[in-house]
Structure 1
Amino acid sequence: MIARLKQFFKELQDTPDPQQLAHSINLAAACMLLEVVYADEHLDGAEASLLPQLLEQNLSISAEDASELIGEARRNRNDATSLFQFTSVVNEHFSLEQKQQLVLSMWQLAYADGELCRYEDQIVRRCADLLYLKHSELIQLRNQAIERQHHH
């Protein structure tokens, strides 16, 4: 599978097909969000319903596309060697604002079930690091996510 992912990223570099590129970027983002969802080893109802919404917001895609992406990200999930593969794609193509939005979404998912587990925390922090976000940004985004959680 890793071979398939590598092939996939290699094709990305070879073919500047914008649609395919957009899809791959979206997939990378979806995979990062899924990592958070699965960090505590169980998919909670709140997380499951929040994930598609966050993908729609982050990537400006339809609900249908979002659920397809989630399916695809799930299938790819156990095969990704590291978050680095996803974050490198995101780094290359996302603006700072988009990266912040993505990390905010990761925090929102992490807090969706009302509590943050250690692994969720680690994954979000690692991603933020890999996306070159400052620690202050990370904390700010986390606070935003917590505020949103309380408004619901």
Structure 2
Amino acid sequence: MIAKLKQLFLSPEVPLTAQQKTQQLNLAAAALLLEVVYADDHVESSETALLPAALTQTLHITLDDATALLEQAKQARFNATSLFEFTEKINAAFSVADKQQLILAMWQLAYADGELCRYEDQIIRRTADLLYLKHSELIHMRNIAMEKDA
């Protein structure tokens, strides 16, 4: 038994392919967007309608891919213990502009039902902090989302 444990801990990790890395990144971003949708305990139809479009714009994927990704992201979100699991992957690969686009999509989802819940606000702010975005960038993305909503 000890030999099997040693083998488990000492075995080299198999490197991921580029496609697998992209899939993990997309899954992380989708899970973060879902965090906003589920933050206020009422999933509004306006939020669920906007979610696939937000994924296609943010991740540059097709609508069919976005729909499939959402199903995977629901499970990943359910199994997650913190936002860090997702933001860690995004920090390793996203540019500042990509991170800003993700935060913008999160704000747009938060405002989709016409009001901002404090829990939605909290999740977006915590995510922006974990993505090492400046407060001014966070507010700028919020203002853009609010302008589009008006």
| Structure 1 length-normalised TM | 0.89
Distance apart, 1:55 and its partner CA: 0.3
Tell me: CA distance 1:44–1:23, structure 2 relative to 1, closer, same or farther (3 Å). same
Q: What's the CA shift string for 1:57-116, capped at 9, x where partnerless?
A: 111101000001111111222210100010000000000000000000000000000000
Distance apart, 1:15 and its partner CA: 1.6
Matches of 1:85 and 1:51, distance apart in 2: 21
What is the correspondence of 1:136-151 to structure 2 with a 5 Å cutoff?
A: 136-150=136-150
What is the correspondence of 1:62-141 to structure 2 with a 5 Å cutoff?
A: 62-141=62-141
Structure 2 counterpart of 1:9: none
Any unmatched runs of 5+ in structure 1?
1-12
SS at match of 1:78: helix
Matches of 1:88 and 1:36, distance apart in 2: 18
SS at match of 2:61: coil
If you compute each CA radius of gyration, which structure gives the higher value, 1 or 2?
2
Q: What's the CA shift string for 1:9-36, capped at 9, x where partnerless?
A: xxxx742300011000000000000000
Matches of 2:76 and 2:91, distance apart in 1: 20
Structure 2 counterpart of 1:44: 44
Distance apart, 1:146 and its partner CA: 0.3
Q: Which 4+ residue blocks in structure 1 deviate beyond 4 angstroms?
A: none
Matches of 1:14 and 1:95, distance apart in 2: 25
Matched length: 138
Matches of 2:148 and 2:24, distance apart in 1: 29
Identity in percent: 58
- Alignment-mate amino acid for residue 96 of structure 1: V
Structure 2 counterpart of 1:8: none
Any unmatched runs of 5+ in structure 2?
1-12
